[in-house]
């Protein structure tokens, strides 16, 4: 029958458990629900690059028509993604990249720009003078590399601002805390802290609080997720001074996937916008988000109703057939 219903899309996620990636998956599922009949295969590597390679291998063996992947670290995943691509399977890279240009499309924000924006915001926040501690993501993951580079390049243009210490927090709250405890002397001379994501920013804040340094040190994070436990809430509660919106791209990835599968034109790079959330705009953003999420709930309710109607219709068809036959 309908050829489109035969597609299988594989999605290899580097680590599925955090709020940001659960949001990404929700966005994907929402968009997928508008394309009924597609087969969606999901694998979560739980932050383990070797495991992710194995999961992609088995997807390729089982047979997929398109691969979406967010590679845990760039280098370890490059080989298998190149293999998929060279086999003729379209590959959409989302958020994190491999170390190669062998992919069909990329969806995500420009992490170099995210870092640069963070550096410029720091300059404004510190009024041109101060010491910064940087809590970076997982070494070897592309957003950590790119955010660090963009941040460094922005900061180095301002002569009164210095990055006095860098630690790797691996994108995780616990790791960030452990690393920060070890650089207490640097923290005592710091004026601001830039964490590559909000969960590490939150861990950093807790350490600073314990050391009695929170009031003195401004904290900037990345992600600014709406909803419970997200960065928007942290900024609005004053836990973080600011955060940069980092869109997940889940919806755009699925839209791009269907354009590719249906042989329609698509953009090779879908670059999503990042911007600063701070006390000046956080209330407005929360309000906007509230509206969007209530509309979202309406759509979900309508889908349930539609499914019920379809069920009723099918049953009536069945009854009709029986009547015709007998
Ligand atoms: C979630 C996350 C985000 C961060 C992104 C970078 O797993 O750590 O917080 O912005 O990944 O890839």
- ipTM for the predicted complex: 0.97
Grade residue 1 by pLDDT with cuts at 50, 70 and 90: very low
**Residue whose CA lies nearest to ligand 1 atom number 8:** 171
* pLDDT tens track for 100-139: 999 999 999 999 999 999 999 999 999 999 999 999 999 9
Q: Which residues line ligand 1 (CB under 6 A)?
A: 15, 18, 20-21, 95-96, 137, 141, 143, 171, 197, 222-223, 246
Q: Do you know the residue count of the chain? A: 326
Burial of 319 (0-12, 13-18, 19+ CB in 10 A): exposed
Q: Which atom of ligand 1 is nearest to the CA of 15?
A: 7
Q: Which atom of ligand 1 is nearest to the CA of 222?
A: 10
Q: Please report the pLDDT score of residue 324 as a whole number.
A: 81
Residue 4 has pLDDT above 80, yes or no: no
Distances (CA, A) of 269 to 48, 49, 105: 26, 24, 6
Q: Using an 8 Å Cβ cutoff, are 243 and 224 in contact?
A: yes
Q: Please report the pLDDT score of residue 151 as a whole number.
A: 98
| Ligand 1 mean position, distance from CA 296 (Å) | 24
| Ligand 1 mean position, distance from CA 20 (Å) | 7
Q: Tell which one of 13, 109, 143, 201 to mutate to probe ligand 1, the residue whose CB is within 8 A of the most ligand atoms.
A: 143
The pTM of this model reads 0.92
| Ligand 1 mean position, distance from CA 254 (Å) | 19
Q: Using an 8 Å Cβ cutoff, are 171 and 157 in contact?
A: no
Q: Please report the pLDDT score of residue 175 as a whole number.
A: 98
* pLDDT tens track for 233-292: 999 999 999 999 999 999 999 999 999 999 999 999 999 999 999 999 999 999 999 998
Q: Using an 8 Å Cβ cutoff, are 190 and 167 in contact?
A: no
Q: Which atom of ligand 1 is nearest to the CA of 246?
A: 10
| Ligand 1 mean position, distance from CA 242 (Å) | 17
- Calpha distance 126→159 (Å, rounded): 12
Residue 325 has pLDDT above 80, yes or no: no
- Which string of b and e fits 221-260 if b means at least 16 CB within 10 Å? bbbbbbeeebbbbbbbeebbbbbbbbbbbbbbbbbbbbeb
**Residue whose CA lies nearest to ligand 1 atom number 9:** 197
User: Which of 90-94, 103-107, 167-171, 316-320 bottoms out in mean pLDDT, i.e. has the lowest?
Assistant: 316-320
- Calpha distance 205→202 (Å, rounded): 5
Residue 141 has pLDDT above 80, yes or no: yes
Q: Please report the pLDDT score of residue 14 as a whole number.
A: 98
| Ligand 1 mean position, distance from CA 144 (Å) | 9
88 conformational bin, left if phi > 0, alpha if psi -120 to 50, beta if neither: left
* Region 26-48 average pLDDT: 93
| Ligand 1 mean position, distance from CA 7 (Å) | 29
Distances (CA, A) of 182 to 139, 164, 177: 18, 14, 9
Residue 179 has pLDDT above 60, yes or no: yes
- Calpha distance 238→279 (Å, rounded): 8
- Calpha distance 148→191 (Å, rounded): 18
* Region 55-64 average pLDDT: 97
Q: Tell which one of 17, 72, 95 to mutate to probe ligand 1, the residue whose CB is within 8 A of the most ligand atoms.
A: 95
- Calpha distance 177→155 (Å, rounded): 24
Report the SS3 class of residue 302.
helix
| Ligand 1 mean position, distance from CA 72 (Å) | 10
Q: Please report the pLDDT score of residue 5 as a whole number.
A: 54
| Ligand 1 mean position, distance from CA 248 (Å) | 9
């Amino acid at each position: 029958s309908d050829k489109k219903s035969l597609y299988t899309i594989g999605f290899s996620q580097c680590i599925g458990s955090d709020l940001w990636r659960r949001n990404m998956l929700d966005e994907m599922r929402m968009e997928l629900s508008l394309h009924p009949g597609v087969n969606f295969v999901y694998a979560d590597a739980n932050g383990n690059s070797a495991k992710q390679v194995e999961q992609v291998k088995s997807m390729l063996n089982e047979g997929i028509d398109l691969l979406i992947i967010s590679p845990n670290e760039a280098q370890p995943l490059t080989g298998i993604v190149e293999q998929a691509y060279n086999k003729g399977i379209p590959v959409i890279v989302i958020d994190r990249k491999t170390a190669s240009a062998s992919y069909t499309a990329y969806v995500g924000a420009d992490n170099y720009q995210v870092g640069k924006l963070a550096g410029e915001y720091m300059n404004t926040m510190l009024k041109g003078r101060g010491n910064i501690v940087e809590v970076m993501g997982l070494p070897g993951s592309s957003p950590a590399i790119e955010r660090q580079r963009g941040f460094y390049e922005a900061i180095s243009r301002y002569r009164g601002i210095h990055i006095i210490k860098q630690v790797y927090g691996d994108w995780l709250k616990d790791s960030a805390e452990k690393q920060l405890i070890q650089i207490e002397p640097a923290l005592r001379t710091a004026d601001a802290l830039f964490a590559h994501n909000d969960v590490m920013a939150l861990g950093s804040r807790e350490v600073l609080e314990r050391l009695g340094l929170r009031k003195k040190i401004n904290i900037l994070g990345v992600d600014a997720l709406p909803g419970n436990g997200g960065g928007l809430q942290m900024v609005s509660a004053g836990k973080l001074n600011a955060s940069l919106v980092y869109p997940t791209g889940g919806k755009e990835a699925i839209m791009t996937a269907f354009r590719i599968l249906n042989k329609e034109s698509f953009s090779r790079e879908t670059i999503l916008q990042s911007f600063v959330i701070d006390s000046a705009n956080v209330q407005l953003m929360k309000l906007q988000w509230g509206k969007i999420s209530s509309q979202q709930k309406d759509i979900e309710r309508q889908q349930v109703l539609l499914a019920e109607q379809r069920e009723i219709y099918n049953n009536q068809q069945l009854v009709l057939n029986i009547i015709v036959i007998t």
